[in-house]
Structures are given as C-alpha cells and as structure tokens.
A and B are shown apart, each in its own frame.
Chain A
Amino acid sequence: MKVFYLCRTGHHTSLIAAALRLGRLPADPGSAGEIYNIPGFDDMDFKDVGKPYYVGTDSSNVEIYTIGVMRNHAMMARAANDLIGLMGVKYGEWLVIDASRSVSKWTIAGLIFKKLRLRTLARTFIYFGARREYDRLAAIYH
C-alpha cells in the first residue's frame, strides 16, 4: 500500500501531514527550528515540483510519499490516480490524499517570496504558514 499526499510543493503542507501520520512530530511544533528540522521541509527546487518524495513507511508497512502539484491540485490528483491505474496497480493498493485545502495563505506568500529569491521573507512566511497548517493537521492526527 502506498499513500501520496499532495500539496503545492510536496515539501511543505503535505510533508507535515505525512510526518504527522508517521508519528514523527509532536502535537505542538514549537519553534521555527523544529519545523525546519522536519527532514525535507522546504528543501525543494521549483523545477523539481511533481517528483514524488519518499517520507517513510509506517508500522502497517504503508509507504508514505508527498507530491507537489502547484495550484492545480484537483487536476493533478485525477492525473495521479489515472497514471497509477494505468501502471496496473490494483484498486485499493494506493491512496491519493489532497492536503492542498490545508495550505495557508502565509505559505503561499512564502512560496512567492521563495520564487523571487527573497530568502528571509520566504522562511518567515513559510514558518508562520506551517504553524497554521500544523494546528489544522495535528487536530486530525493527534
């Protein structure tokens, strides 16, 4: 079984959701340092968006991945499901979870700054965005 979490980049919201599912994160993330210490967090290049990122395997042997899909999350979720189906994978052996609805506006602003190479502003906005997303997602997984 494989689970794919989708968000804009695959290295922000979906990564937090995946890490929470794997039980790797506490209910309260604490400082910016703790959020940025999540393996793979914000560690991305825009040209690589779309490449699945392996986060880990849970106790039930479910492999967890994240995928960045930019703004067209519903379309890319359909494409991911269809592609996996075409690869001959049996129905029920994969799950695509769209975490895009949890993406904070702060994160979106942070990504714009990241694209503009304004690193300090980007990190600050992404941190505040991650805090908000963390609270929403932690309520599901804790």
Chain B
Amino acid sequence: MKIIYHCYGGAHASVTAAAVHLGWLPTDRLPDNEELKAIPHFDRPTAEDHGRIRLMGEDESGREIYIVGRRNEAQVFENMARGLMDIYKQSEDEFRFFDVMPYINWKMVLGGFTSRRMGITWFGRPVIISGVKYSYWPIVGLVQRVKVVTAAGQKGIKN
C-alpha cells in the first residue's frame, strides 16, 4: 500500500505528517526545532517541486509513505489520481490519499510564503516551526487515524 499525504507545497504539513507516521518525530511531546529541521524535505521544496511525489520511507507495516504538494488543487489531484488508478486497474487499497491542508494555520502560511516563495528563510523558517508546533497534536491525531483506517481497510477519515 502507498499512503500519500498531500498539502499545498509538500514542504511542511505533509512532511510533518509523514515524519510522525514513520516514527521520526515523537508522539508523547512536542518536537524541538532541530528535530523538525532534520526531517528530509522540511521547508526545502520550491514551486518547481510541486506535483513531485516523493517517497519518505516505509512504515512498520511495510506501507510506503509519500508526500506531494498540489497547491490548491486537492480535488483535481484526487480526481486525476483515482481516474489513473481506474485506467491502470489499481485496487482501492493500493493508494490512499490524505489531505493535511486542514491542519495548516496562519503561521505556516506566512512562514511558507516568506521562506519558500520569497526566499527569506531566516524569517520564514522560525515562523513555520512555530506554526507546525501549534498544529502538531492535530497532525499526530490525523496520522493515528490514518494508521487505524489503513490497517482496518476502511476507505477514508473525516478531518
């Protein structure tokens, strides 16, 4: 099974969710700044990377965890992905898509814009890290629900 977390830029929310899923970040305390900065792809992809589906790793059950940035086209992206799955006869269980956008807050928007779009990393990155910490527990909750529904073979979750 391939689990794909998607958000606007594939640089913060989806990366954090994937890192929690893979056990790279703690689920009993907030991660510190260095732990967040050490996650591969955290606050690094640029606009040219949007649409690239990146493998983050394999979880304890052998499921491949991917991230992708799809700007504001969640519906278009999922329509296309499900249509391609039909064309190439992929089963419903082969690919699962989870939207992490509902967990993005204004600090992540401001920090992401200044760091990724404007290139002012020294200002944007601390703002993003503060935003990620603010949304950390909801993201951990999402990942735990994802693990339960994918293990149980259910079709989806409510954000």
User: Once the chains bind, are B80 and A2 in contact (CB under 8 Å)?
Assistant: no
Mark each residue of chain A from 64 to 101: 1 if its CB lies under 8 Å from any CB of chain B, else 0. Answer: 01011110101111111011101111000000000000
B22-30, B48-56, B138-146, B148-156: which lies at the interface: B48-56
User: Once the chains bind, are B83 and A86 in contact (CB under 8 Å)?
Assistant: no
Task: Report if A78-B51 is in contact (Cβ < 8 Å); known contacts: A47-B75, A83-B80.
Answer: yes
Contact with B76, one of A76, A82, A84, A88 (Cβ below 8 angstroms):
A76
A10 CB, nearest partner CB in chain B, Å: 9
Q: Is B79 engaged at the interface, CB distance under 8 Å to the other chain?
A: yes
Kindly state the separation between the CA atoms of A49 and B74 in the bound complex, as whole angstroms. 11
B52 CB, nearest partner CB in chain A, Å: 6
Task: Report if A79-B77 is in contact (Cβ < 8 Å); known contacts: A86-B2, A86-B53, A87-B88.
Answer: yes
Contact with A76, one of B80, B82, B83 (Cβ below 8 angstroms):
B80
Across-interface contacts of B94 in A (CB, < 8 A): 87
Across-interface contacts of B90 in A (CB, < 8 A): 87
Kindly state the separation between the CA atoms of A20 and B80 in the bound complex, as whole angstroms. 23
B11-19, B65-73, B108-116, B120-128: which lies at the interface: B65-73
Across-interface contacts of A89 in B (CB, < 8 A): 88
Across-interface contacts of A88 in B (CB, < 8 A): 88
Closest to B89 in A: A87
Q: How many residues of B contact A (CB 8 A)?
A: 28
User: Once the chains bind, are B87 and A65 in contact (CB under 8 Å)?
Assistant: yes
Across-interface contacts of A49 in B (CB, < 8 A): 75-76, 79
Across-interface contacts of A65 in B (CB, < 8 A): 87
Across-interface contacts of B50 in A (CB, < 8 A): 72, 75, 78
Interface centre among A2, A80, A88 (most CB of B within 10 A): A80
Across-interface contacts of B84 in A (CB, < 8 A): 52, 80, 83-84, 87
Across-interface contacts of A70 in B (CB, < 8 A): 73, 76
User: Once the chains bind, are B79 and A76 in contact (CB under 8 Å)?
Assistant: no
User: Once the chains bind, are B80 and A51 in contact (CB under 8 Å)?
Assistant: yes
Across-interface contacts of B73 in A (CB, < 8 A): 50, 69-70, 72, 75-76
A125 CB, nearest partner CB in chain B, Å: 22
Kindly state the separation between the CA atoms of A83 and B51 in the bound complex, as whole angstroms. 10
Task: Report if A50-B87 is in contact (Cβ < 8 Å); known contacts: A70-B76, A78-B51, A86-B53.
Answer: no
Closest to B2 in A: A86
Kindly state the separation between the CA atoms of A80 and B86 in the bound complex, as whole angstroms. 14
Kindly state the separation between the CA atoms of A54 and B27 in the bound complex, as whole angstroms. 45
Mark each residue of chain B from 46 to 64: 1 if its CB lies under 8 Å from any CB of chain A, else 0. Answer: 0000111100000000000
Q: Residues on A close to B: CB < 8 A?
A: 2, 47-52, 65, 67-70, 72, 74-80, 82-84, 86-89
With A67-B83, A79-B52, A88-B88 given, can you name 9 additional A-B contacts, CB distance below 8 Å?
Answer: A47-B75, A50-B75, A72-B70, A75-B71, A76-B73, A78-B51, A78-B52, A83-B81, A87-B90
